[in-house]
Structure 1
Amino acid sequence: MTLSLFDQFMSPWFMGVPLLAISLIFPWILLPMPTLRWLNSRLLTVQNWFIGRFTHQTFLPLNVEGHKWALLLTSLMLFLITLNMLGLLPYTFTPTTQLSLNLGLAVPLWLATVIIGMRNQPTAALGHLLPEGTPTLLIPVLIIIETISLFIRPFALGVRLTANLTAGHLLIQLVSMAVMVLLPLMPTVAALTAILLIMLTLLEIAVAMIQAYVFVLLLSLYLQENV
């Protein structure tokens, strides 16, 4: 029973082809594409409005130097949203339930923000390791604590995304198994449980979007400290 619950988080293979690679390519089909028509379609208009609002809200507190990351972080947010929602479709796989993939996204981007801070303003970047007005006796301890907190940031990004999606998918699978078991025994209870399953699926869609936004928002906050 335990293995069957966690089989959904294993990277499946089909005819020797890893479906993880295919699922990573698929989200790009859903991104808005330019059109040759004079007027955009309703879908393209909504997509452009959403991207514009997200970019405006994310980069509002950043200075001009941080706006260079607009294309990268906006594309990352759209990419994560589509990857997070892949697991809600039948016979698909959610790549972002794999910690290795999330760390592969979080570590290079976090390291890029740190390198930018060290290159452009090394004094201010190193100043974050020691708050102003710290007593002399606490200086070594605080430097060690702030250094650990700095290096734990990418792992917090990856673990947060993995844990939230894993917990949601496990809960959906458990409730769906309960519906299948209760259906021949107590149809009324099974129907009520199915309603709960639908509500849980809607909640998981919201979680998939929110976690992608939180991932990018935290990266923008790390960038704000270094530009």
Structure 2
Amino acid sequence: MTLSLFDQFMSPVFLGIPLIIIALVVPWLFLPTPSGRWLDNRLLTLETWFIGHFTSQLFAPINQPGHKWALMLTSLMIYLISMNMLGLLPYTFTPTTQLSMNLGLAVPLWLATVLIGLRNQPTAALGHLLPEGTPAPLIPILIIIETISLFIRPLALGVRLTANLTAGHLLMQLIAAAAFVLLSIMPTVAFLTTIVLFLLTILEVAVAMIQAYVFVLLMSLYLQENV
């Protein structure tokens, strides 16, 4: 029974073709493209306002050289939100429940921020490994601890996104299965369980958006330390 619950997170294959490729491409098809008209439609206007507001808030504390990442990080957040939201629909697959994909997004971006810091300001970048005012006997230990924490950052990004979405999907499946079983035995309890499932679904919609925002926000904080 435990294995069947996790089968929903396996990458589906149809006629030997992994459907994760389609799941990665589909979110871009739902994003409206800008037009040459003077007045855009409501959806495009709302999207433009959201992107502008998010970008201004995300990059306000970052120095001017870091603003080159605005297009990349904003696109990444919209992409993650789209995949997380599409994964809540029935008979769909959520690519962000795969740890390999999340690490594939986190590791290159994190490594790019570290390399930028080592190239532009090597003294300040290496200075993060040793807090100011550290007693001499603790210097080797703190350098090792800070180095380990530095290399754990991309792993924490990927695991956080994977664990939150996986836990939410599992909980929704368990509550839905309980409501289905209780429907013929205790209809009142099944009705209450369905209400809980509805509230959990709303919570999962919020989690899908918040986790995409947290992923990009932490990446911007890593960028802020190195520019």
Q: TM-score range by the shorter chain?
A: over 0.9
Query: Cα distance, 1:31 vs. partner?
Result: 2.1
**Aligned equivalent of 1:131:** 131
Q: Normalising by structure 1, what TM-score? A: 0.98
Q: Is the contact made by 1:31 and 1:78 (CA closer than 8 Å) also made in structure 2?
A: no
How do residues 127-206 of structure 1 correspond to structure 2 at under 5 angstroms?
127-206=127-206
Question: Aligned AA for 1:144?
Answer: I
Distance in 1, matches of 2:62 and 2:87, equals 33
| Offset of residue 191 of structure 1 | 1.3
* AA at the equivalent of 2:126: L
Which shows bigger deviation, 203-212 or 187-196? Answer: 187-196
RMSD over aligned Cα atoms:
0.8
The question of whether the paired residues in 2 share the 8 Å contact of 1:77 and 1:216 is answered with: yes
Shift of 1:97: 0.5
Aligned-pair identity (%): 77
Contact kept? 1:12, 1:19, Cα under 8 Å: yes
TM-score, normalised to structure 2's length?
0.98
Partner of 1:28: 28
Cα distance in 1 for partners of 2:39, 2:57 equals: 26
Moved over 2 A (4+): none
Cα separation, 2, equivalents of 1:40 and 1:157? 36
Q: How many residues were matched structurally?
A: 227
CA distance in 2, matches of 1:197, 1:118: 48
1:78 alignment partner in structure 2: 78
CA distance in 1, matches of 2:16, 2:86: 21
Q: Kindly provide the CA deviation profile for residues 58-112 of structure 1, in whole angstroms up to 9, marking residues without a partner as x.
A: 0010010010000000000001111112221111100010100000000000000
After superposition, the C-alpha distances for 1:2-54 in whole angstroms (9 at most, x for unaligned) are 12111110000112221101000011112231123321111111111111111
Shift of 1:206: 0.3
In the alignment, the residues of structure 1 paired with residue 41 and residue 193 of structure 2 have an alpha-carbon distance, to the nearest angstrom, of 39
